Amino acid sequence: MSGSLQYKPISEKLAPGVTLVQNINESNSELRYVSLKIISLQKGAAYKETLGKKEVCVVVLTGKATVSDGEQTFSEIGTRQSVFEKKPTDSVYISNDKSYTVSADTDSRIVLCYSLSEQQLPTRLIKAEDNSIEHRGKYQNKRLVHNILPDNDKSANSLLVVEVYTEGGNFSSYPPHKHDQDNLPQESLLEESYYHEIDPKQGFVFQRVYTDDRSLDETMSVENGDVVVVPRGYHPVGVPDGYTSYYLNVMAGPTRIWKFHNDPDHEWILDRK
């Protein structure tokens, strides 16, 4: 249903050995700049797509795959069997108006991160070792970040892509912040999606999405494989004790820069000694 914030996994066969697990776009969400597909491929299977006025970042979430745009081919990329190995993976950026194929060298899970795009840019392999790694926060606000397409990387038109790990007992995307106003240099307008995995997989996390006036205020119990979309508002994530949270963020908007605004009611936690 258009306007939903939380999306459960689906299982739609697209081709032999290819299963669509998530498919979020402008037709079934409030998002206008960001869209997302997650596909599972059996070894030897292939997924093909022709892009219109969208760019894509092909993230080899798990397994190994070969990605080709017909001119360049990147063979057997991917570094892990589980996201909870906590090491970066390989991705491929492909610009608008191109066609590409993802072929599974092993059983694989692929995240396809899209945003609107008009200007063609070169196809590029984003190697695992090209991901910058950050440790953010302190106290119960700690997380590990893998930057796949950060805003200081100028090789995309709109897309920003990042992976985040949060240990049990910690909050992430916290203190609550938002980026829903085109008001640079103070704040940028960026929609966002969260693809969640949890270890062990029977766990859950809590995510709240809310605005200052509470015209949007929804708190969700999020399980393994769910996607939460953030068309606007603050969007913190809380992780129960004993579980580890992983999420992959896709962001995009009219200007490719991440400038956020903290909820003033909770910003004080940054000043703790």
Please give the full DSSP string across 101-114, using - where no structure is assigned. Answer: EEEESSSEEEEEEE
Instruction: Identify which has the larger pLDDT, 1 or 44.
Output: 44
User: What residues contact 71, with CB distance under 8 A and at least 6 apart?
Assistant: 123
Pairing of strands 12-15, 6-7: unpaired
Number of domains in the chain: 1
Helix, strand, coil % over all residues of the chain, rounded to 5: 5, 50, 45
Give the phi and the psi of residue 271 in degrees, each rounded to 5: -95, 5
* Position 4 confidence tier, pLDDT thresholds 50, 70, 90: confident
- Residues 163 and 76: their CA atoms lie apart, in Å, by 21
Supply 84's token pair.
Answer: 């909870």
Q: Is residue 70 part of a domain?
A: yes
Flag whether pLDDT at 165 surpasses 90: yes
Q: What is the DSSP letter of 160?
A: E
Q: Is residue 185 part of a domain?
A: yes
Q: Is residue 214 part of a domain?
A: yes
Flag whether pLDDT at 243 surpasses 80: yes
**CATH code at 196?**
2.60.120.10
> Which residues sit opposite 19 in a β-bridge?
13, 40
Q: Is residue 20 part of a domain?
A: yes
Q: Dump pLDDT digits (tens) for 17-46.
A: 999 999 999 999 999 999 999 999 999 999
Would you state the pLDDT for residue 3?
61
Supply 170's token pair.
Answer: 């910690």
- How many CA within 13 A on the CB side of residue 44? 2
Flag whether pLDDT at 273 surpasses 90: no
pTM for this predicted structure:
0.96
- How much is the average pLDDT of 120-132? 97
Is residue 136 within 8 A of residue 145, CB to CB? The reply is: yes
Q: Is residue 232 part of a domain?
A: yes
Q: Is residue 29 part of a domain?
A: yes
Would you state the pLDDT for residue 154?
86
Chain mean pLDDT for the chain: 96
Would you state the pLDDT for residue 1?
36
- Residues 258 and 253: their CA atoms lie apart, in Å, by 10
Percent of all residues in the chain with a pLDDT value above 90, rounded to a whole number = 96
- How much is the average pLDDT of 152-178? 96
Percent of all residues in the chain with a pLDDT value above 70, rounded to a whole number = 99
Give how far the C-alpha of residue 64 lies from the chain's centroid of Cα atoms, to the nearest Å. Answer: 19
Would you state the pLDDT for residue 85?
98
Domain range spanning residue 108? 6-271
Q: Dump pLDDT digits (tens) for 200-239.
A: 999 999 999 999 999 999 999 999 999 999 999 999 999 9
Q: Is residue 64 part of a domain?
A: yes
- How much is the average pLDDT of 147-171? 96
Would you state the pLDDT for residue 136?
93
Distances (CA, A) of 34 to 37, 102, 107: 11, 21, 27
Using the CB atoms, write b or e for 159-180: b if 16+ within 10 Å.
Answer: bbbbbbbbbbebbbbbbbbbbb
Q: Is residue 1 part of a domain?
A: no
